[in-house]
Amino acid sequence: MSALNQIQKKRVVIVGMGFGGINAAQELAGSGLEVILLDRNNYHLFQPLLYQVATAGLEQESIAYPVRALIRDWYNLSFRMGEVTGLDLAGKQVLTDKGNLPYDYLILAGGSVTNYFGNEGVARHAYDLKKLTDAERLRNTILTTFEQAAQEDDPVRRKELLTFVVVGGGPTGVEFAGALSELIRFVFRKDYPTLQLEDSRVMLLEAAPTLLGAMPEQLRRYAENRLQEMGVEVRCNALVADATDHEVRLGSGEVIATRTLFWSAGVKAGPLAGMVPGDKGPAGRVKVTPGLTMPDHAEVYVVGDMACALQNDKPLPMMAPVAMQQGRYAARSIIRREQGGTAEPFRYLDKGSMATIGRSSAVASAFGLSLSGFIAWLAWLFLHLYYLIGFRNRIVVLLNWSWYYWFHERQVRLITAQEPDSGNLCQRQKSA
């Protein structure tokens, strides 16, 4: 009899179906353990492509996949849709709005939320991209704003409508700014022939001295120069101090009149981390042992953006590759423990990072190599297609990308929720 068949039928509960949770579930499939997956949504979301939904490049369904369909052929796995309301670590139970879930092992993969760093004005008036509904609302806002500008006679108000401020010079901010600029230059120029789109502005603000701070200097310079060639106004050392429904105020005192503010300047651990007792690290992340467990509860693993795991005395970054490797590690560690063994401390293998800037243009840094331009763009495309879940989703996304590459068209220019022309458009859509 194999060692796997000798594993006792114990229960593992995985909270969160992001990259960490899904990878843990896949590793535990067929292990002989009972595995229950829990999430407030019934789908896994491929968050790196949310910005393309917001800029009318992809349908929202093409970057999400139903969890039940995903685990249909994974042995001993089941899914429950519900909201976590608390944790009873002493009693080994997850408290939910649908009842309590006992566990022998618990993997917490609750992800992250946008970090506004206590800036209430920005939190009220800015968009972010963490959920499917966020992307749809932002797309509605961009399209509705252009419809309003096409009928606006006041040049000052029209310029305000056509000014888009993107805060955060990391991969998300760079990718969103580039995609939005291309949408305006290549698509809206044809859709709105009466508008003088030279009046439109896409501004990318970064508080640090450079964009893409984790990448080599030559790639940072390439990204900034390429964005500027595309018409994006890049400003580094630009700290956002406040925002209202009609303007963004910088720390320097400058005021930018705008109706659309997109925030990608930081993330913090999600609300689930606040339910976990014990010390927290930066951004509210749960401090874990080298084995990714809670110090006082060895049966509880914390992975992904929730976990403050140290490597070389520094917290690991809050990125999808980290979550994927940690999810697989936690699952393998549980299996080894049930077989009577122990797991080595977790070590993250950094395979590099990349960001696309626009059509045929990207930057990538991996294993000591620095790539830019068309080759980096192809690498970005194939890597994202590879990790996207679902054959149909891959085909749909590839067809959309191919169509845009050859014809400069974005097919998903649909306003699915109309807003009245009054007050703060962003705030009204966020509260909808």
Q: Which residues are CB-neighbours of 181 under 8 A, at least 6 positions away?
A: 202, 227, 230, 231, 232, 358
Task: Estimate to the nearest angstrom the gap between the alpha carbon of 298 and the chain centroid.
Answer: 29
Q: Is 53:59 a contact under the CB 8 Å cutoff?
A: yes
Provide the β-strand partners of residue 100.
95
Amino acid occupying residue 384: H
Pair 202, 260: CB distance under 8 Å: no
**C-beta of residue 236 within 8 angstroms of C-beta of residue 211:** yes
Q: What's the longest Cα–Cα distance across the chain?
A: 79
Residue type, 375: I
Joined tokens for residue 258: 């705008």
Parallel, antiparallel, or unpaired: how do β-strands 93-96 and 84-88 relate? antiparallel
Q: Which two tokens stand for residue 176?
A: 């969103």
Give the active site residue among 27, 175, 182, 224.
175
Residue 224: active-site member? no
Which three-class secondary structure state does DSSP give residue 148? helix
179: nearest Cα among 46, 50, 352: 50
Q: Give 204: exposed, middle or buried? Use CB within 10 Å, 0-12, 13-18, 19+.
A: buried
For residue 79, the SS3 value is strand
Are 287 and 281 within 8 A, CB to CB? yes
**Those residues with Cβ within 8 angstroms of residue 430's Cβ, 6 or more apart along the chain or in another chain:** 127, 137
The catalytic site residues sit at: 175
